[in-house]
Every structure is written in structure tokens, then in C-alpha cells.
Amino acid sequence: MLSLTPVMLRGDCCIPQKALFLADVPDGIYRVTVLAGDKLADTCTVIRTGAGKFVLEPLVVPEGQYVWESFILRVSGGQLKLSFSGAAPRINAVEIQPDHEALVLYLAGDSTVTDQGEDGYPYAGWGQLLPLVFKPGVAVDNRALSGRSSKSFIGEGHLQAIAADLRPRDYLFIQFGHNDSKNDEARHTEPFTTYKEYLGQMVSAAREAGAYPVLITPMQRRWFDREGAIIDSHGDYLTAMRELAAEGTVPLIDLEAKSRRLFETYGPEGCKELFMWSYPGEFLKHPAGVQDNTHFQILGARLLSQLVAEGIREAGLSDLVIHLRQGD
């Protein structure tokens, strides 16, 4: 930590539009604190880490004012990476300190959970927005990967990699189901046999490490009937996960039920604001437009992350509840 006075830190601000900050640090858990603001102008700074994970709400600071904000990251690969954007970004200082008290919340899942790269903007998974629901004290390590089922995630060694990093009192959130019904051999599972078996392996890996597993039912797709009700797209996979949670006394966040209510509130047309629907030319990265009823824009991913936070409270996950931001 640099021994600098606040006045010295405010003397020269960085204007890092689309800039990257890279720091070589040992693998571990860190508290990152930034100083944002400008003496002469209003500022708005968006900070992301890794492939595009949001770590803070946009830092909107009036002219002549400054704000310190902190967040927790788990660094792997020996390098901490931050990117800065926003309408008028200003960063005056970055402080990086090891944090030996913070919990790590690992995510295992598919494309609806994973961190989507900035090159696909506004495409986002709910795990990408989940850090925003937490105060400093929890690091979200999103290991979800596009296209994976419970079977292929384990078969490719991703559960083994998570198990090697899990510590007592960490959490492993598990959401699969979108790809388990695929017909290819690498991914297909049967709801009441292999699907439950692979989910059970993930639950066991967490418990063997002294960590806490949490099952999350997969959210629904944007499939509506003529009356504006959601058409279920997961069938027995939902029943199987709920059975496993009850049989193994595993906390369950029923994101399927929560997403159904959310989508039906928005309706068939309103839901396009949540899913990756766009007109030709609306988004630079998708010039031809998109009509995707499974994946989410940032708004949809953010609302789903808030539903997960709601589920954390309902499940009584006390170590996480105490770190939730007010309102999430």
C-alpha cells in the first residue's frame, strides 16, 4: 500500500477509456480499492475484471468529489486484470491487498451463467452480474462455461479444478439443465439417473472440501403460449433437481419458478428487453440483429442475479446473507 495523502492522490487522475490495468500478483484472494472522481468534471466509471465480469455499480461522482469503493477478487493465473469504461471514466488510485477473510462463491453452469466477453456486448450471463449484489467480503469465481451439461462439465475436468481450490466455508452454486437434454453423447443425461448422479458428484465435491453446495434450477426460456404463460422447456430435469435437493438436504434456489414469474410479468414483447433480441444495427457487435430466446442482455442477467440474491436470503445462507447489499 502506497503511503500517499488524499490530496496527492487527487492531483493527477487517469482518464482510462477502454484502458486495461494489469498487475502481476500471486494467485489468491484480494481486496481491490479504487479512488474515482475529478476536480473539474462529473465522472462515470464502469469497472470489469477478467473476460467482462462487473465488480461494482457504475461509479457516478459529481464534479469536485471523490469516492473510494472496494470489491473482492479471486486471482488465478498470476495476473489481476481490470478494464475501465463508462461515459466519463476517472480513476486516481488502485490499491490491492490480500484478503484472508473473504469467502469465495464458485459458479458451475452453462452459457446462461458464464461471463460473456465484452466483444459480445450486451450478451451476459447472470453470474457475470452476481458480484454486484455483494458487499466486499465475497469473491464470485465464475467457472461456468457455454455449452456444457452436468456431464460434459465433469468430463472435461472443470469440477476437479474447482475442487482443488475449494476451502472450508466456500460455496459452490450449481446450475445445469439447458444442455443436458441435448442428444450428443458428450452432454446428454437422463433426468432421474445420470443427471442426478452428475449433480450429486458436484454436491459431494463441495462437501468433501468443507464447502457448501447449492443447487439452482435452470431458468425458463422466452417461450410463451397464446395466453402469455411460459411454456416449460426443462420438464423432468426440474423435478430431478428438486428431488436431489430434498433427498440430500441441499439448499435449493428455484430460479425456474422465479424466472417464470419475472418473464410472465414482462410478457412476450417486454421480455425482449431481457433476452438477446435486437434490431439490425441496434448493437455494434450484432449488426444483423439477434433473436435469441435463451440468452440474456445485461438487464436480464442483472435481474436474474437479483433473483439469485433473493434465493440466498430465502435459503438462509447466513454467511452470504450478511454480505448482500441492501435491496438485493
121 pLDDT band (50/70/90 cuts)?
confident
Residue 73 and residue 133 in one domain? no
10 pLDDT band (50/70/90 cuts)?
low
The residue-averaged pLDDT of 167-182 equals: 97
Is the pTM higher than 0.85? yes
pLDDT(273) > 70: yes
What is the pLDDT at residue 13?
66
What is the pLDDT at residue 151?
98
CATH number of the domain within which 10 lies:
2.60.120.260
The residue-averaged pLDDT of 269-298 equals: 92
203 pLDDT band (50/70/90 cuts)?
very high
CB 75 within 8 A of CB 30: yes
The residue-averaged pLDDT of 192-197 equals: 98
Backbone torsions φ then ψ of 160, nearest 5 degrees: -60, -40
Domain span at 311: 103-321
What is the pLDDT at residue 326?
84
DSSP classification of residue 324: B
Residue 53 and residue 150 in one domain? no
Over the stretch 209-230, which tens digit does the pLDDT of each residue have?
999 999 999 999 999 999 999 9
What is the pLDDT at residue 5?
47
Last residue of a domain, one of 98, 124, 140: 98
Residue 120 and residue 134 in one domain? yes
Establish if 328 belongs to a structural domain: no
Domain count, the chain: 2
